[in-house]
Amino acid sequence: MFPLIHIDFRDARPIYQQVKEGFCRLILSGVLTPGYKLPSVRELASSLTINPNTIQRAYRELEQEGYTVSVPGKGSFVCDGDLAAQARRRELLEQLEQLAKELEQLGMSRERLIEKLREGEKKDD
């Protein structure tokens, strides 16, 4: 079993997304280092007792986002941590842009949003 990935069946997020996010956390935190071979789709699906197609989708998204690379006949491997961090930053910035657009539609100006971000920045100091 791959004990580092936890699936919460009561979570509203799809299972493939939970698997993907679990691997993202492990990669970004350095637990899974560059070159680490991920378990095979069948092996992980069996250990988590979920459909292999679900694992395949998570692996496909990890590769598309730059966290892993797939080598035909060999498996999926963790990419360089800096590339994974860049991919995660891109993903988060896209989410931030979507949130900013939604807040603008609800009447919040970009200037007010920037103020809120700066307030949060000061709290971290």
CATH of the domain at 62: 1.10.10.10
pLDDT digits (tens, 9 = 90+) for 44-94: 999 999 999 999 999 999 998 889 988 889 999 998 767 767 777 887 888
| Shared-domain flag, residues 93 and 72 | no
Task: Report which of residues 121 and 42 the model is more confident about.
Answer: 42
| Shared-domain flag, residues 72 and 101 | no
Structural domain tally of the chain?
2
| Shared-domain flag, residues 74 and 90 | no
pTM score above 0.75? no
Q: Does residue 22 contact residue 59 with C-beta atoms inside 8 Å?
A: no
Is residue 2 domain-resident? no
| Shared-domain flag, residues 71 and 94 | no
| Shared-domain flag, residues 75 and 28 | yes
